[in-house]
């Protein structure tokens, strides 16, 4: 079965600093989703990547999928308190409509 490892598990950054969260798989990723979750709330869809080398950006968040399709990174530029929360990566382990497999999440705190 596919396992996703997220790193770091938790992160505390000063407001205005850049940060990167990684999501690594032992197998090929056929689709990689990034979600954000505010404490005690639901999942907010950020981005989905499918092709090797693909990169997408939305506001100050950029997500990349490596050429081998086994690792994805989420980069936040000039972090703000609104970026705080839990970031989850979810992967499609095969083609077609299959269940997402999730990493354990990265808890991000942004301090002034």
Partner 1 sequence: NAGVTQTPKFQVLKTGQSMTLQCAQDMNHEYMSWYRQDPGMGLRLIHYSVGAGITDQGEVPNGYNVSRSTTEDFPLRLLSAAPSQTSVYFCASSSRLGYTFGSGTRLTVV
Separation of alpha carbons 68 and 73, rounded Å: 13
Question: Which residues have a Cβ under 8 Å from the Cβ of 93 and sit 6 or more positions away?
Answer: 1, 2, 27, 30, 99, 101
Within positions 41 to 100, which residues make up the interface with partner 1, using CB under 8 A? 41-43, 45, 48, 88, 90, 97, 99-100
Separation of alpha carbons 76 and 61, rounded Å: 5
Closer residue to partner 1 (CB): 14 or 50:
50
Stretch 20-39: interaction string toward partner 1, x if CB under 8 A:
-------------x-x----
Binding site for partner 1 (CB under 8 A): 4, 6, 9, 33, 35, 40-43, 45, 48, 88, 90, 97, 99-105
């Amino acid at each position: 079965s596919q396992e996703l490892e997220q790193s770091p598990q938790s992160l505390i950054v000063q407001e205005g600093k850049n940060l990167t969260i990684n999501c690594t798989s032992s197998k090929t990723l056929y689709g990689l989703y990034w979600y954000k979750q505010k404490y005690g709330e639901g999942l907010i869809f950020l981005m989905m990547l499918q092709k090797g080398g693909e990169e997408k950006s939305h506001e100050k968040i950029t997500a990349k999928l490596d050429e081998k399709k086994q690792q994805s990174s989420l980069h936040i530029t000039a972090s703000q308190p609104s970026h705080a929360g839990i970031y989850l990566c979810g992967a499609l382990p095969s083609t077609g409509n299959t269940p997402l497999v999730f990493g354990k999440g990265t808890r991000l705190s942004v301090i002034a």
